[in-house]
Chain A
Amino acid sequence: MSNRVLIEAKNLMKEYIRGKREVVMAVNDVDIQIPKGKMVLVTGPSGSGKSTLLNILSGLDKPTEGKVLYEDENIAEWDEEKLAKFRRGNVGFIFQNWELIPIMTALENIESPLYPLKIKSKEIRTRAISLLKQVGLWDKADNYPDELSGGEQQRIGIARALVGKPRIIFADEPTGNLDVDNAASIMRLLKSFTKRDTSVLTVTHNEELKKYADLTHRMSSGRFV
């Protein structure tokens, strides 16, 4: 595994049982490398297996076969607690439906990944405010998610993914629910973080987003095509 590669997957396969007997191959013999400080884009239609691939690479899901190497360790073999620890220190998630916590304000949502960590409250607040300013929502700090628009919620989701200073961000359809202007704005924001050596893996059905990526893959029926 090269020094410039952060995560590498080999021969990934993921099977699902649909209904009683039907076996669905969501990911079929996929190899992928995510270099440090690069934006990798995986495109494909709905049901092509791109979200499953993202979930496996982030440690949320386990492959049926194959390896996911992170610093020469196969995270596919780790238990839930070890994976949680891995995600805590290295991974930021941007969810398709934003998944903000409704009882927290925008600022608290951004801070939330850091609450269990041994970081001083003042430092957490400083980081969150800084990110809130970067995503242009400083004036919405005390708003609850249901008081924010879709684009604003997505920006808060991005800020939350970045607050822990992750080495990689996994973004599942980050622009899926946004208009063209908001989508471009979000992609530019994500791209800007690669300059700080943060890797970004984005999966989307929107082929137009390829222009923001350093590397692109297209998936269909569980395979790269």
Chain B
Amino acid sequence: MGLFKLFMKSIIFSTRSRRRFFPFVIIFCILSCATIILLYNFDNFSREGLLVHRGVVVEISTLGTVDYGEAKTAIGTNIPGAEAVIYYRYVDFGNNLRICSINTKYKWAFSEIKPNDLVSGSFPGNDREALVSDKVLLTLSDEEGAPAVRIFTKPVVGAKFKIGISNETTFELKISGIFKRPDPPSNIASGREWILIPEDSFETLIGGQNLGYGDTQINIHSISIIASGDVFSGASYSNVDRIAASLDDLGAEYRSPIYTSKTDKDAQRNMMFLSLLFGIFGTFMVSTLYSYLITRFRRREVAVLKAMGYSGWDVRIVVLCEILVVAITGFIIGLVTIQGYLWLIRQSTYFYQFINFSYNLPFLTPSLTAVMSFLAVVLSCIPGFFLITIRILSVRPIEIFRQK
């Protein structure tokens, strides 16, 4: 009870030393913004890098389309050394819509959609969820006068919609996420809105009971071959290289396997990681400086507290609270500033979303990034705090009282 009470009181008192508090809140705010952005970029890079580090993508040539049956014959589903072979199948609906299959186990292995293309929501977690592109309209019709393929919903996360060629054979899906369609659009998706659904749902929807497409009517967008290995160590490269070489024999209908060379990718990743470390190191330096200033300005107060009977840990709590209050206040202001900035940017980009205010979530930075940034900012305060408190606790109160 005693320590908790001291903790709460110290939090209150730490905001009263305004000469120190406000300048350092601003400094921590700027550092937090930098850390959030750096971590966000690094996180996105790592996730995007996942595919090229772990797998090989075979994209269909711009010259023609390849049907599912043909692709399966050419590549098969069991490649030695590969962890999985994922076929991204699609069918075109009328003039406006493309339905494509995705694999829920290997999220973001689809070369066309990356995590930072996600406007809101998340990757589908089960078979009856779907990712839709942001400009899917309320009602889509393949041609005038026909019964029409219709989506009876706005593109809002959590909303359910139906696809079918008649009212009797509708297929219901829930929107798990909305993504920004790649711009410029993919070579074979130009002008169409996308609905990405899990493989099982794709088969059910496209099959005989519903839309009735056969294997030769289903095209392949791309094939991702997942090689096993550690993303960060780059240990999988020999495996990736071997698989890539074996795919070269498949002929002109396929592009060469796409991946950045290990050296370039490592250099990019190292640079980003270095930037992130600088962000965290900056916070560490500032928190250490702040701890130093606290102990310098509050040296006499600390001596009084110790003379009154405060133990070493009691004094540590007083100092720690002041550092944490400044760091956390700075972080929260930084986070809100970043979110506000992103929100405003997005509002100006998507005007129709501005009208439908509820469409956008106010917090756009992934929560994991925010949590990681928070930990980076707060934890980087701890070493500085310990360095400084060792210094102040080693001084006896009487030595400070003697200094006029």
Q: Footprint of B on A, CB under 8 Å?
A: 55, 58, 60-61, 80-81, 84-89, 91, 93, 95, 99, 101-104, 108, 112-113, 115-121, 160, 164
B398 touches A116 (CB 8 A): no
A60 touches B5 (CB 8 A): no
Question: Digit string of B1-44 for contact with A (CB within 8 Å is 1, else 0)?
Answer: 11101100100010011000000000000000000000000000
A103 touches B13 (CB 8 A): yes
Choose among B2, B3, B401 the residue with the greatest number of A CB atoms under 10 Å from its CB: B401
Query: Using Cβ atoms and an 8 Å threshold, which residues of chain B touch A112?
Result: 305, 308
Query: Using Cβ atoms and an 8 Å threshold, which residues of chain A touch B307?
Result: 58, 60, 87, 93
B308 touches A87 (CB 8 A): yes
The answer, among A84, A102, A119, A120, for a CB contact under 8 Å with B311, is A84
Query: Using Cβ atoms and an 8 Å threshold, which residues of chain B touch A99?
Result: 300, 304
Indicate whether B310 reaches chain A with its CB closer than 8 angstroms: yes
A58 to B396, CA, bound (A): 13
Known: A60-B396, A95-B304, A118-B2. A103 touches B16 (CB 8 A): yes
A88 to B300, CA, bound (A): 18
Indicate whether B184 reaches chain A with its CB closer than 8 angstroms: no
B2 touches A116 (CB 8 A): yes
Indicate whether B208 reaches chain A with its CB closer than 8 angstroms: no
Indicate whether B64 reaches chain A with its CB closer than 8 angstroms: no
A115 to B304, CA, bound (A): 14
Choose among A61, A81, A89, A115 the residue with the greatest number of B CB atoms under 10 Å from its CB: A115
B6 touches A115 (CB 8 A): yes
CB distance from B11 to the nearest CB of A (A): 12
The answer, among B2, B16, B301, B398, for a CB contact under 8 Å with A115, is B2
The answer, among B3, B13, B301, B397, for a CB contact under 8 Å with A116, is B3
CB distance from B402 to the nearest CB of A (A): 9
B304 touches A121 (CB 8 A): no
B5 touches A121 (CB 8 A): yes
**7 further A-B pairs in the complex, CB-CB below 8 A; given A116-B6, A121-B5:** A60-B398, A80-B396, A87-B307, A103-B17, A108-B13, A117-B2, A118-B1
Question: Digit string of B269-313 for contact with A (CB within 8 Å is 1, else 0)?
Answer: 000000000000000000000000000000011001111111110
Question: Digit string of B303-329 for contact with A (CB within 8 Å is 1, else 0)?
Answer: 011111111101000000000000000
Query: Using Cβ atoms and an 8 Å threshold, which residues of chain B touch A81?
Result: 311-312
Choose among A86, A93, A113, A116 the residue with the greatest number of B CB atoms under 10 Å from its CB: A116
Closest to B304 in A: A99
- Could you say which interface size class chain B belongs to? 20 to 34
Query: Using Cβ atoms and an 8 Å threshold, which residues of chain B touch A89?
Result: 309
List 18 A-B residue pairs with CB atoms under 8 Å apart, sorted by A's residue number: A55-B398, A60-B397, A60-B401, A84-B306, A84-B309, A86-B309, A87-B307, A87-B309, A88-B309, A89-B309, A91-B309, A103-B13, A104-B13, A115-B6, A118-B1, A120-B1, A121-B5, A164-B308
B5 touches A115 (CB 8 A): yes
Closest to B5 in A: A115
Query: Using Cβ atoms and an 8 Å threshold, which residues of chain A touch B314?
Result: 116
A113 touches B5 (CB 8 A): no
A115 to B321, CA, bound (A): 14
Query: Using Cβ atoms and an 8 Å threshold, which residues of chain A touch B3?
Result: 116
CB distance from B314 to the nearest CB of A (A): 4
Query: Using Cβ atoms and an 8 Å threshold, which residues of chain A touch B1?
Result: 118, 120
A55 to B308, CA, bound (A): 13
A101 touches B398 (CB 8 A): no
Closest to A121 in B: B5
A87 to B311, CA, bound (A): 10
A93 touches B312 (CB 8 A): no
A28 to B138, CA, bound (A): 96
A202 to B309, CA, bound (A): 20
Query: Using Cβ atoms and an 8 Å threshold, which residues of chain A touch B16?
Result: 103
B304 touches A116 (CB 8 A): no
A83 to B9, CA, bound (A): 24
Closest to A99 in B: B304
Choose among B1, B309, B312, B314 the residue with the greatest number of A CB atoms under 10 Å from its CB: B309
CB distance from B319 to the nearest CB of A (A): 13
